[in-house]
Amino acid sequence: MSNWRVSDYLQQVLGAGGTNRGSIPHTQEGGGASRLRSQTNSSPTILTRWQGINEAFEGQEAKVESVWKYSSGVCMGLDVWGWNLTRTEEGIITYESGNCTPGATGYGRGTGGRTQACQGSAGDLQWSHFKGQREYKDNNRYQREFFACRELVTILLGVFGMTNTGARDASQVAKGNPCGKFYDIVKKWGGVQIANQIMDDWFLDQGNSPPRSRLFGLKVGDLYERISEFLYGDDKGDKALYCTYNFDEGSGQSLGHRKYTTGENTGSSLGQCNSTIEECLGHLDRSWNTEQDTPGEVPQTTAQVGSQVNGEKTPTSAKPVKDGSGMDGQVIEQTRPELDRPEGGGSDLDLEGNAYGSFSPGAIVGGLSSSLLFALGLYGYYRIFLRGRFASKGREGTRSTWRILR
C-alpha cells in the first residue's frame, strides 16, 4: 500500500512555492510559507503563528487563539487518515480511502479513540509524537510542516465560519465568498503557485463530471469536507459549498492569478456546532493530549529527562513510559524511526535533531564514568591484596603505590 503522507505533501507544496515561480511577483506574497521551507538562521528559531491568520477571523479575532490551539488535533488526525489512504495506479495518481474516517482516527468528534479501521504505528506516523508539545523550532522539517498544516487548517476553519456557534446557513455563508477569501489569504501566505495548488488539491473541481479534486478520488471527496468532519463528525461536514474560478482579468492568465467565487449545492448541508466554541472544539484538545496509538497496542514512548533550556527539558537520559501524552514543560517523544538522522549512522540526536556523533555528551560522560570506576577498582584491589605485603616496608611503599594509582 502506498500511503498519502500529509507531511511529505506539505514539504512538496512548500518547496514548489520557492522555485519555478516564473514571472509571478514576490512582493508581499509568501511571507508565511517562506519561513517554513528551511531553517532561517544559523541557530534554531522558535516558530510563531503567522499573523496574517487573523484576517480569516475578521470581526471574530477572539476565536483565533482557540482555533489555533485545536488545529493541532486536526493535523494529527490528518496524519492518521492520510496514512490509511491507498494510491491508485491507473491513469492520474490519486488517493482513495478505505474504512478510516476522521472520527475513527481518534481525533474526530464523538469518538473515544482510534479504531481498528485506522492503522499506523508510531513509526508510520510523522506527527503523532508532537502530542502535548507547545513549542516548535525551524531546524526540524517535520515541525515546520506541522506548523504549515496548522496555519492552513486555521485559515480554512476561520474563513468558512466553521466555529460559529449559531446555525450555519449555506446561502448566507456563500454570500461572504469564503472560497475567494481563503484563496486570497493563502496567496499572501505562500504566493500564487502554492495558493493555486492548495485550491486544486483541497476542493472539488466542478469542471469534472462528477466533480472531484485533483489529489483525491471520488470516495474521498475533498480535503475541505474531511477537515470539517473532524469538527462536526463523520458524514456531517460541509457538503453544500463548492469553489469555482476564472483568471483574474487584472493580472492576466499568464501570471496565474485566479478569482474565486463560492457556489451552493442545493439540497446539501453544512456542518453545525450547535454548542459553545469550547464544546465544539474541546474534543480536539482532549484527543491531542490523551489519544492513544493503535487500538490494543500500548504505545512505546520515551520520556526525555534532562536540564532546562528556556523552560524546556533537553534530553540527557531516557526511560520508557506507558502514557503517550505529554504535559506542559514535559518533553515526551514516541519511539519512531530517526527521520532526521544524517546518513552514516552512529550518531545520537538531541531534541532538535542535531547529530552529536561519537563525541556526544552521553559518550563523553560514559567514558569518564568508566575510567573513574576502573581507578576505584584498582584502589580496592590494592587495599585488600597488596597493602599487607608492603606493610613491612613502611609508609614509603604505600605512598609509592598511591602515586602509581594517581
Do 384 and 248 belong together in one domain?
Answer: no
Same domain, 282 and 379: no
Classify residue 345: in a domain, yes or no: no
Cβ neighbours of residue 53 closer than 8 Å, sequence gap 6 or more: 64, 68, 151, 154, 155, 158, 185
Final residue of a structural domain among 240, 270, 290: 290
Rounded to whole angstroms, how far apart are CA atoms 311 and 369? 28
286 and 397 in a single domain? The answer is: no
Domain shared by 365 and 286, yes or no: no
- One domain, residues 46 and 182: yes
Cα 375 to chain center, whole Å? 49
Residue 312 lies in a domain: no
**Domain limit, last residue, from 290, 316, 337:** 290
pLDDT tens digits, 323-346: 333 333 233 333 333 334 333 333
One domain for residues 285 and 377: no
β-pair type (332-334, 301-305): antiparallel
How many structural domains are present in the chain? 2
Q: What pLDDT, on a 0 to 100 scale, did the predictor assign at position 134?
A: 84
The answer to whether residue 126 sits within a structural domain is: yes
Assigned domain for 21 exists: yes
Q: Give the containing element (helix H, strand E) for 308.
A: strand 308-309
Residue-range definition of the domain harbouring residue 380: 361-405
Crossing angle, helix 141-159 and helix 178-190, to 10 degrees? Answer: 150
Per the listing, cell 449545492 goes with: 265
The residue among 136, 166, 153, 142 whose CA lies nearest residue 60 is 166
Mapping DSSP to helix (H, G, I), strand (E, B) and coil, where does residue 132 land? Answer: coil
**Same domain? 384 vs 241:** no
275 and 368 both lie in a single domain? no
Indicate whether 371 and 278 sit together in one domain: no
What pLDDT, on the 0 to 100 scale, is given for residue 187? 94
Quick one: the chain helix, strand, coil %, rounded to 5?
A: 45, 10, 45
Does residue 299 belong to any structural domain of this protein?
A: no
**The three cell numbers locating residue 54:** 487573523
Of 290, 325, 352, the one marking the end of a domain is: 290
pLDDT of residue 210: 54
**Cα(37)–Cα(194) distance, rounded to whole angstroms?**
12
Q: Do 138 and 40 reside in the same domain of the chain?
A: yes
**Residues 178, 176: Cα–Cα separation, whole Å:** 6
How far CA 277 is from CA of 60, 86, 105, 163, 168, in Å, comes to 12, 34, 22, 6, 14
Residue 385 lies inside a defined structural domain of this protein: yes
User: 156 by DSSP, 3-state: which?
Assistant: helix
Q: CB 83: neighbour CB atoms within 10 A?
A: 22
Distance between CA 358 and CA 377 in Å, rounded?
26
C-alpha cell at 64: 483565533
Quick one: CA torsion of 95, 99, 101, 104, rounded to 10 degrees? -140
State residue 115's pLDDT score: 78
Distance CA 276, CA 285 (A): 14
pLDDT value of position 337? 38
Secondary structure of residue 104 in the 3-state scheme:
helix
- Please list the ranges in the chain whose pLDDT falls under 70: 1-2, 17-30, 89-93, 110-112, 205-221, 250-254, 274-275, 277-406
CA 15/CA 69 separation, integer angstroms: 26
**Residues facing residue 321 across a β-bridge:** 301
Q: Measuring CA to CA, which residue among 233, 101, 239 is closest to residue 168? A: 239
- Taking Cα atoms as reference points, which of 200, 215, 263 lies closest to residue 82? 215
- Beta-bridge mates of residue 319: 303
Residue 358: per-residue pLDDT: 41
DSSP per position, 34-103: HTTSS--SSS--B----GGGGGGGTT-GGGHHHHHHHHHHHHHHHHHHHHT-EE--SSS--EE--S--TG
pLDDT at position 381 is: 52
**104 assigned to some structural domain:** yes
User: What are the DSSP calls for 179-210, one per residue?
Assistant: HHHHHHHHHHHH-HHHHHHHHHHHS-BTTSSS
The single residue listed with the C-alpha cell 521551507 is 37
Q: If we measure between CA atoms, which residue out of 281, 285, 283, 289 comes closest to residue 132?
A: 289
- pTM comes to 0.67
Rounded to the nearest 5 degrees, what angle is found at the Cα of 203, between the Cα atoms of 201 and 209?
A: 100
Identify whether 298 is part of a domain.
no
Same structural domain, 15 and 160: yes
Indicate whether 387 and 286 sit together in one domain: no
